[in-house]
Structure 1
Amino acid sequence: MSLRKVFRSRKFSKSFMDVNAAVAPALEGGEKKEEAGEDGNAWSGMLPELLREIIRRVEVEEEQWPQRQNVVACACVCKRWRDIAREIVSEPQNNGKITFPSCLRKPGPRELPNQCLIKRNKKTSTFYLYLALTPSFTDKGKFLLAARRYRCGTHTEYIISLDAEDLSQGSNAYVGKLSSDFLATNFTIYDSQRPHAGAKPSSGRSSRRFASKQISPQVPAGNFEVGQVSYKFNLLKSRGPRRMVCSLKCPTTPSGETSDITSPESDKTQSKDQAAPTCTILKNKAPRWHEHLQCWCLNFHGRVTVASVKNFQLVATVDQSQPGGKGDEDTVLLQFGKVGDDTFTMDYRQPLSAFQAFAICLTSFGTKLACE
């Protein structure tokens, strides 16, 4: 399919259309002269400077949302366009953007966190995660994930799905689940997909995706454990917020952090080196007692407006070998707080993914008598 048809089938920005209109006569002349490139069409023979400017403008226009269909369309024109698109367009796993469903399992951005909203439906015990597109708490944003709470004997499960309507483990939209113990103080996060090469499904009845061993060879019957969340007991009923510790399996590059520049060759190398993910330990940031307000306070930078025992901020422990060790108080990796009766904010960053952050926030819902 020619690029002209692609242009007409997509809604490009005005700035890009101005560039397209400016170069159209030159391109038409190129077609008349039959100056075809190596791929057999005139589009591959476009000047490199002009081609880079076109793809750069398309990338800038799709910084936030919607789906990156225009970027994909450019990369599908020919090999030359695809190579230049790789030079300019940052891969989702490196920039923290959420543009495809697979990005929900990728680490968030490094500098500024992704700001999200969680909407709760108490009647159906359902929770919906949205990517915030504006600073307003009333705007719903872009739907990302949904979860529903089920009571399974002595424990509780949250089924997490890409579909807001189909929330079952047998669905193709099934992403993973969250399983708790009887007291709702210890949680295990399961992923439906293999998190790294060599990972084996968790054994045990609670980790199974289906009652039977196998439904289809294409659909794994088991789940893969990717994290645990524990709430500490408050036996003395001392004043203060809940205390929690999270242990997560986060994939890393050989250098220990997400690379800024990748290539097809480096991707192959990273996929082999990511066979053994590191374990990241998070703990809640210690709040401060406010004498005037007579309450425990944390600085949520305007992202939390209602006081609640569910509110928390998570930081990484300085010594990862000590779960109860001191935390890095300066960098908040995940914060969760209440802004309405059934509306909550969720802001996360690297190394957490949207799926992991959502699962951790789900553990905060529900009564925890042993912790309060």
Structure 2
Amino acid sequence: MMLLRRPFFSSYKGSSFASSSLCAVDDRRDGGGAVAEEDDDRWSTMLPELMEEIIKRVESSEERWPLRRSVVACACVCRHWREVTTGVVRPPLESGTITFPSSLKEPGPRGHPMQCFIKRNKKTSTYYLYLSLTQTFADKGKFLLAAKRFRCGAHTEYIISLDADDLSQGSNAYVGKLRSNFLGTKFTIYDSRPPYSGAKALSCRTSRRFPSKQISPQVPAGNFEIGKVSYKFNLVKTRGPRRMMCTMRCPPAQTPIIDEDPKSTSSPEAVSRPVVLKNKAPRWHEHLQCWCLNFHGRVTVASVKNFQLAAAAVDPSQSGSTGDEETVLLQFGKVGDDMFTMDYRQPLSAFQAFAICLTSFGTKLACE
């Protein structure tokens, strides 16, 4: 019997999603690493109605981190508590909150953007994604994901992980990667788990399948292509910012909260069509003599890396097709020497938004 005592954010250092109460439960393990059966029975025999009422009150009273760690602790008590918690806690699309690791691969909020920021370490070529806890740029934030840049022959790869200290593709915390061409103008985004049933993983020796205990223990991890990002060449060197286009296979609107059964993974028909995003064209400000976009106070430093992505225009002849060129689905901009803001919303997930933003780092002589 698999009991989730340490599946959420126990690998995080410093800003772990696990609470002290969760750690206390972890200490009651037997010699084989499983929690003693009598301890599990003690918690699981509680009346389901009482369990649900407890979790509802915890959920409603702790909307923001760091207090939200108690919701994670409730889900880690035993299997029955986990089942009740998954039925109470709403996904980011509805609640606007990130609770479990799987929330990082679920669509963002519908009505407002999820505000995050990225810290860069140039010396180690690492990037850290944090959830903003306040409206200022001074808060420490809640650690979500980390990425490290590697040079692989003529290509560059960014390994994305749940663990800030374990950034390897063979790690249990591995959630996906980003791979670029030689010029750094075209990128492919890979997810560690299949986006739909029957999806084929990238077939190469370095992308072998391995067990992932963090996002979805029952689904073997690999590298499954979920999106592409390309930057348009600027051969005549005209003035202006970079022009980019993204094609993403976004997660479905309704997904399980913590773990999912591979038999119930969405079929290709159930997954929405790939979403095409384009950067919004800035306007030239004659007085300031620069290109300008309205970031609503979330960007304070002019940079060629700054961008806003919106849904590209679609063919109106296609039934059921929708497009909104005005709504910004992802914006990324500089606020310090090594600090950048990242705001995303539905249909993108935090993982996808982070991967797209990583493509903006680095010099692109062919595009500037």
| TM-score (ref. length: structure 1) | 0.73
Amino acid in structure 2 at the alignment position of 1:287: P
SS of structure 1 residue aligned to 2:324? coil
In structure 1, the residue matched to 2:181 is 181
When residues 320 and 357 of structure 1 are mapped into structure 2, their CA distance, relative to the original with a 3 A threshold, is farther
Distance 1:197 1:321, change over 3 A: farther
Is the CA contact 1:75–1:85 (under 8 Å) kept in the aligned structure 2?
Answer: no
Task: Tell me how far 1:328 sits from its aligned partner.
Answer: 3.0
Counterpart Cα distance in 2 of 1:169 and 1:331: 35
Partner residue of 1:338?
334
Q: What is the letter of the counterpart of residue 209 of structure 1?
A: S
Please state how far the C-alpha of 1:260 moved relative to its aligned partner.
Answer: 11
Question: Which aligned pairs between 1:356-371 and structure 2 lie closer than 5 A?
Answer: 356-371=352-367
Aligned to 2:127: 127
Q: What does 1:26-65 align with in structure 2 at a 5 Å threshold?
A: 55-65=55-65
Indicate the structure whose relative CO is greater, using CA pairs within 8 Å and at least 6 residues apart: 2
Q: Max radius of gyration: which structure? A: 1
Partner of 1:31: none
Deviations 1:164-211 (A, max 9, x none): 111111111111111100110000001111122111112356xx425x
Pair 1:347-2:343 in alignment = yes
2:322 matches 1:297: no
Aligned residues, how many? 314
1:70 deviation in Å?
A: 3.9
Q: CA deviation at 1:59?
A: 1.7
Correspondence for 2:308 = 313
Q: What is the rounded CA distance, in whole Å, between the counterparts of 2:71 and 2:21 in structure 1?
A: 7
CA distance in 2, matches of 1:103, 1:61: 19
**Deviation of the 1:151 alpha carbon:** 1.0
Measure how far apart 1:250 and its partner are.
1.2
8 Å contact from structure 2 (residues 210, 222) kept in 1: no
Identity across aligned pairs (percent)?
65
Alpha-carbon contact 2:334-2:341 (below 8 Å) kept: yes
Aligned to 1:111: 111
Encode CA deviations 1:79-112: one digit per residue, 9 max, x unaligned. 8x99986775424564342111111111111111
Asked if structure 1 preserves the Cα contact closer than 8 Å seen for 2:279 and 2:309, the reply is yes
* SS at 1:115 equivalent: strand
The superposition leaves residues 335-355 of structure 1 with CA deviations (integer Å, 9 ceiling, x where unpaired) of: 000000000000001110111
Q: Once the 2 structures are TM-superposed, how far is the Cα of residue 63 of structure 1 from its aligned partner?
A: 1.2
Aligned to 1:225, what secondary structure does the other structure show? strand
CA contact (8 A) 2:251 2:348 kept: no
Contact 1:107 1:349 in 2 (8 A): yes
3-state SS of the aligned residue for 2:331? strand
Offset at residue 44 of structure 1 (A): 5.8
How many angstroms apart in 2 are the aligned matches of 1:221 and 1:82? 23
Alignment of 1:184-195 (within 5 A): 184-195=184-195
d(CA) in 2 for partners of 1:166 and 1:356?
A: 20
Equivalence map 1:219-298=2 (5 Å): 222-252=222-252, 258=253, 271-272=266-267, 275-298=270-293
Q: Distance in 2 between matches of 1:345 and 1:183?
A: 25
Does the CA-based 8 Å contact 2:196-2:265 persist in structure 1? Answer: no
Conservation of the 8 A alpha-carbon contact between 1:119 and 1:127: yes
Q: Secondary structure at the match of 1:315?
A: strand
Q: Indicate if the aligned counterparts of 1:117 and 1:140 stay in contact, CA closer than 8 A.
A: no
Question: Take 1:63 and 1:170, find their aligned partners in 2: how far apart are those partners?
Answer: 34
The separation in 2 between residues aligned to 1:369 and 1:100, in whole angstroms, is 39
SS in 2 for 1:333: strand
Cα shift readout 1:29-84 (whole Å, capped 9, x = no counterpart): xxxxxxxxxx976x5676x9xx75x65432222212245534763897998x9998
Q: CA deviation at 1:140?
A: 2.1
- Match of 2:90? 90
CA distance 1:242–1:61, change in 2 (3 Å) = same
Once the two structures are overlaid, the 10-residue window that deviates more, 234-243 or 196-205, is: 196-205
Residues 65 and 273 (structure 1), Cα distance of their counterparts in 2 relative to 1, 3 Å cut: farther
The two structures, once aligned, show a CA RMSD in angstroms of 3.6
Cα deviation digits, residues 199-256 of structure 1 (max 9, x gap): 1112356xx425xxx677999574100100000001111111000000001133xxxx
Seen in structure 2, the aligned counterparts of structure 1 residues 97 and 160 have a Cα distance that, compared at 3 Å, is: same
Partner of 1:154: 154
